[in-house]
Amino acid sequence: MCGIVGYLGEERAAPVLLDGLEKLEYRGYDSAGVALWQDKKIAVVRRKGRVCELVCARSLAGNAGVGHTRWATHGAPSERNAHPHRFGAVCLVHNGILENAAALKEECLARGEVFSSDTDSEVAAHLMNAFLAEESDLLRAVKRACELLSGSYAFAVLAEGREEIVCARMHSPLVVARGTDGVFAASDLCAVAAEGRSAYVLEDGEFARLTKEGAELFDSALRPVERTFFALAAQQAAPEKGSFAHFMRKEIEEVPSAIENTLSGLPDLLNSHLYEVLCQTEYLHIVACGTAYHSGLCMKAVVEKFARVPTQVFVASEYRYCDPIVPEHTLTVAISQSGETADTLAAAQLALERGSRLLAVTNVEHSSLNRLAQHVLPTRAGREVAVAATKSFNAQLAVLYSLAAALAAGRGRRVPSPAALAVLARETLCASGRVAAWTPYFQGARSVFFLGRGADRCAALEGSLKLKEISYLPSEGYAAGELKHGTLALVDGATPVVAVITDPQLADKTMNAVHEVYARGAAVFLVTPFEELCAAQEVTASVRIPRCEPAYSPILSVIPLQLLAYHVSLALGHDPDKPRNLAKSVTVE
């Protein structure tokens, strides 16, 4: 999940690299470093912690260099394990995991080579240095090293005596960009986006060489290739927080506009080629991870209620290993905010190989998942900087509910329109401010339960995940009817319970669970449109949200749960934008 950046041009490289790394910090922030090419030598600065710890490097000279912000896989977060990694004449930054690093390291050690880190990445530097001594050509040395590697990688490589940067990609995102001020490489367009620049996203197995003359591209056999570069605009860069203390708070505030922009930007599904596919679809598979998995569960509830199409939702990391049965006329929907989630990409590839049609739902236009899929429905949430997904979840639901409605229409079934959901989201956001007053009950909690039935259970799962991600409180999203089958033993006065009740047909059943936890001393917090439930003596506090079609309700009920997680995180002294151990874009298995 690490972020890498490279620059070669007429400007000083250090400020360019550090500015790029700050935009990529959502990908990891355990440690950071830069390497600058100076008078045919390489100067390296590395620090444990966030990119801001590299302020001392901003004044360094040199017009070429590479930088890295790390999410630790091999080796603890430390200056020793920070990138760039150097051996001999070679210095590199790496995003990915080298699965055969241990075996390759043994071969290097047998040759008497000494390692200075605990990372898998350093092995690549050793290999490239050995081949560079034989080849005297950095591009060929990088290629020969890559032929020995298994796993995933995006490399940006420097070598002493050579004013060039060589890049390679396999199963990890990497873009190269051109501009009047130089040439660039990065893990994400946001790090290089500016007016007057253009970019190309490397495909697996491709290489690039950046020099003062520009960016050259090569296929897997190092044959030069011509590729189309697309224009970049400044608005593709990471946004600012404005008057908000944190990006997460700002992004929750943007939920209504994310829903509105997504719905207005969707193609006319009933008059598209995709609609023909939907009419022929007999089975629906959904593959996703984390928050996107929860949006898939929400879609399943709508599809099976209104379109009556059998739907399975798979955790993408398990899909490849459960030997999935993919019947004829299956449509697989792959959901990923970044479009770079490694497990989701692998699951999507397997679905294609087994004969399924593939539809991508992503928030990033030029992502790997978009290029893989036969059909794409974009979410238009705008850039989401906070690691914990908020507005992208609601935007995914806007797409998925619209897709479910088109599936139903193709079978002659009527579905309530999702068009009013943006307006209802604004009302929900206004009503949700009161959750800030709930935080004292959660500060001393030993654990937290989120309860719901039907679609409300999906919202409960996502609310629980948000709380875990940024407050670090043990939390569980649970089917309300299952509580008494063992889990009730965990509930006591130190266990706040959040109940989501939006379906009138299930309200009394879920309230039974509220009675049960209240009887065990739990404080109960309610998210519901029903005024009479808010007045129940068992309810400590509540947020009353607007009524909507119950199957669509998670797009609204999750908003106060997102805000609850945010306020609890602050009350416990944590950074809600950059929770420990996590990264925004999960590009490794």
The residue with tokens 């009013």 is 420
For the purposes of burial, counting CB atoms within 10 Å of the CB of 135, is it exposed (0-12), middle (13-18) or buried (19 or more)?
middle
237: tokens are 């860069």
Q: How far is residue 286's CA from residue 308's CA, in Å, rounded to a whole number?
A: 15
Contact 427, 476 (CB under 8 A): no
Q: Compute φ and ψ for 469, nearest 5 degrees.
A: -60, -45
162-170 and 153-159: which strand pairing? antiparallel
Rg (CA), the chain: 25
The residue with tokens 């009047």 is 180
Known catalytic residues are 2, 584
Q: How far is residue 349's CA from residue 547's CA, in Å, rounded to a whole number?
A: 39
Q: Compute φ and ψ for 25, nearest 5 degrees.
A: -65, -20
Q: Which residues pair with 64 in a beta bridge?
A: 8, 37
Q: How far is residue 549's CA from residue 416's CA, in Å, rounded to a whole number?
A: 7
Closest CA to 548 of 426, 441, 460, 403: 426
| Residue 313 Rama label (left phi>0; alpha psi -120 to 50; beta) | beta
Contact 415, 409 (CB under 8 A): yes
Q: Compute φ and ψ for 240, nearest 5 degrees.
A: -100, 160
